[in-house]
Amino acid sequence: MDRFMAIAVTEARNGIRAGHGGPFGCVIVKDGEVIGRGHNEVVLQNDPTCHGEIMAIHSACKNLGTFDLSGCELYTTAEPCPMCLGAIQWANIRKVYYGCNISDTDMIGFRDQKFYTEPADILEELDRKECLEVFYEYRDIEDKIGY
């Protein structure tokens, strides 16, 4: 077994044994060193966004003191859901290695498949003009970090 995936599996086991959430563990690696780790904490935190990948990204960013994880690789026990994949891309992580796929996740009772196939019919534009004002304010700031 790959040594970094083994750490991700251990993270997942620690999380499920502690009752924190599902079997999702993750590590982030840069230059051969683990710089962040996490496991699913949805139940522990009462927060549906506390997936293993998100927790590992938080850990890596805190440890490196940056929001830019360029040059990093991520190892996770399951194929990232769309939320996590978006976070991975926002963090500039260059490569993702996953163990179980979406069908495996479905088999144990998680509904990830739904988010890949159903359109977001819950979206509705509202008060665009007022929201654009704050966008324009941000656009006009001289020394900003756009992300």
SS (HEC) of the chain: CCHHHHHHHHHHHHHHHCCCCCCCEEEEEECCEEEEEEECCHHHHCCCCCCHHHHHHHHHHHHHCCCCCCCEEEEEEECCCHHHHHHHHHCCCCEEEEEECHHHHHHCCCCHHHHHHCCCCCCCCCCHHHHHHHHHHHHCCCCCCCC
**Structure confidence at residue 116 (pLDDT):** 73
Catalytic residues: 53
pLDDT tens series, the chain, 147 aa = 999 999 999 999 999 999 999 999 999 999 999 999 999 999 999 999 999 999 999 999 999 999 999 999 999 999 999 999 999 999 999 999 999 998 999 889 888 777 776 666 777 888 999 999 999 898 898 887 665
- Residue whose entry in the numeric block shows the structure tokens 């756009």: 146
**Superfamily in which the 3-140 domain is placed by CATH:** Cytidine Deaminase, domain 2 (3.40.140.10)
Tell me the C-alpha distance between 29 and 43, whole Å. Answer: 26
**Structure confidence at residue 114 (pLDDT):** 77
